[in-house]
Amino acid sequence: MNQNEIHISLKIFDFSCEPSELSNRLGIESTKQGIKGEPLSSKNGVARIWPYNFWEYGIKKETNEFIETPINNYIKNIIQPRETELIDIISNCKSEFSVAQYYYTGHNPGLHLEPETIKIISKIGAGIDVDIYCLAEDE
């Protein structure tokens, strides 16, 4: 594979309303959602159910650019315009800013978050989860 994959999302969970209400409040449709008690995908043949209400807006991008650029664009275009509403929503539930990189090219990936990025994520009340999968074959 010649391109790395970057997945960035904001996840909100364990809230009491319908996920569609969050989409309406935020003015953006979720890319994934679930309602507590409803079926979730099966895993290894075992049926699962959603343990809580869940809302996610995520992007996936194939690129070899540094991961900071798509993170900063997501913050600027998705989180900042909705900052006030996110603060209100997340004050009553749980949230996570999630970043995953599937690294197929090169070696030694890294991640640097500017203080302003961390402040924005902290201000809305979200945790940060970062996963980097190094899948490049040795050359």
Q: How confident is the model at residue 17 (pLDDT cuts 50, 70, 90)?
A: very high
Q: How confident is the model at residue 139 (pLDDT cuts 50, 70, 90)?
A: low
Percentage above 70 pLDDT, the chain: 96
Q: Is the pLDDT of residue 88 over 80?
A: yes
Q: What gap in Å lies between CA 12 and CA 10, rounded to an integer?
A: 7
Q: What gap in Å lies between CA 98 and CA 83, rounded to an integer?
A: 17
- With a CB cutoff of 8 Å and minimum separation 6, the contacts of 57 are 9, 10, 26, 28, 29, 30, 31, 78
Q: Give the helix/strand (H/E) hosting 42.
A: strand 39-43
Q: What gap in Å lies between CA 74 and CA 104, rounded to an integer?
A: 22
Report the DSSP pairing between strands 32-34 and 54-62.
Answer: antiparallel
Q: Is the pLDDT of residue 119 over 90?
A: yes
